[in-house]
Amino acid sequence: MKKFLIFALSMVVLISCEKESSDSVDQDKIFASYVLDYSGNQDITYARANFHFSNVTGTKLELAEPAQVTIDGDIIPFKPLLALYEKEFIGVKTSGNFYYIDVDGNEFNNTVTMVDSIDFPTGIDTLSRTENFELTWIGSPVGQDEVVTVVIVSPGLASSQLFTQTGVGATSIMLTQDKLQNLVLENAQFTIRRSKNVTAQEVTSAGGNVIARFNSSPMTVYIKP
């Protein structure tokens, strides 16, 4: 059974990372995503570029020469296992200009600006499964097109719950009892994220988006009855 699960997971990874060369498709049908993703746990900002045929769920593409993608003038390397382009920067990268040129020489410039930082308040070490809890974060209110997300994961992935806040101007998120009651009674890992996903400035007819994410360092909280 264990071998079957490992095989199944391996197949999922292989299928998810299937890709084609960008010169095999109509260049005007390439959907591009440009991402700045900060990890507070690692204190690293990941600059990523993803190219898909037709739309965001289409086949992943590896750029064929002379096509390339850069950020602030630096080439972004291709990661074959992930089928995307990724470059790391130490600390918070507040903005980045992505430049993409396709095999036909068409040029696209898109800027991603990092969202404001967000973090947990101090003093939260225990939560009850039987009560709602309003979590007021450290950081600015929810902005236009932003989403604040709290994810709670029990050890060993025994259970997990996701909470979201999209109300512009909101400064807190309600962790509701109906979801908390599904958590295991032990320490759980909490993470909070602020993200923004909007249409890119320069795109093909297939479209594209720019995404900024700020992920706090995780926090451990004990879940009690």
DSSP class of 137: -
Domain range for 62: 2-113
Instruction: Say if residue 153's pLDDT is above 70.
Output: yes
The answer as to whether 209 is a domain residue is no
Domain count along the chain: 2
Q: What is the mean pLDDT of the segment spanning 96-125?
A: 96
Which among 13-22, 83-92, 118-127 has the top mean pLDDT? 83-92
pLDDT for res 7: 39
One domain, residues 109 and 49: yes
Q: Mean pLDDT across the chain, nearest whole number?
A: 91
Give the CATH number of the domain where residue 164 resides.
2.60.40
Instruction: Pick the more confident residue, 13 or 94.
Output: 94
Cis ω before 66 (30° cut-off from 0): yes
Domain closes at, from 113, 147, 176: 113
pLDDT for res 157: 64
Q: Cα 13 to the chain's mean position, in Å? A: 18
Encode pLDDT of 185-210 as tens digits: 889 999 999 999 999 999 999 999 99
